[in-house]
Amino acid sequence: MAIQKSFISKHGVTAEEAYHRVDTIDIDRRKKKNAANVIVRIYKSSQDHINGAMWLDRVDFNFEMAMGETAADAVSQAYTALKLLSDVEGIDYTKDTIDV
C-alpha cells in the first residue's frame, strides 16, 4: 500500500510517479490519547522502493488514531489521514493521488 503522486524534491529532482510510502507509525497512548506520528518516505518510483534505492525525501505528520475492534489497521488509518491533508511540508495530498 502506498500513494503515487508527482513530487519535486528540495534538490530539484522531479518524480512524476513518486511513491509515497508510510514507513513508521509511533503511537503515544499517554493520557488516553492515541496520537500517531507518521513518517512517510518518498521514492522516485515504486520500482526504486522495491529495488532498495535511497528515498528522495521524507515527510512527517500527526493524526489521532482510532482504537478498538472495529477500527481499521494503523497503516490504513495513516493513509486515510494523509489524504485529508492539504499541506504536509508543502505537499497537498488531497489532490492528484493514486492508491497503489
Residue ranges of domains in the chain: 3-86
What is residue 68's predicted lDDT score, i.e. its pLDDT?
85
User: Cβ distance 4 to 97 under 8 Å?
Assistant: yes
Cell of 41: 518516505
User: Cβ distance 83 to 30 under 8 Å?
Assistant: no
What confidence tens digit (pLDDT) does each residue in 10-56 have? 889 999 999 999 999 998 877 667 899 999 999 999 999 999 999 99
State the chain's mean pLDDT as an integer. Answer: 94
Q: Where are the alpha helices (DSSP H) in the chain?
A: 46-50, 74-82
What confidence tens digit (pLDDT) does each residue in 51-87 have? 999 999 999 999 999 988 999 999 999 999 999 999 9
Based on its alpha-carbon atoms, the radius of gyration of the chain, rounded to whole angstroms, reads 14
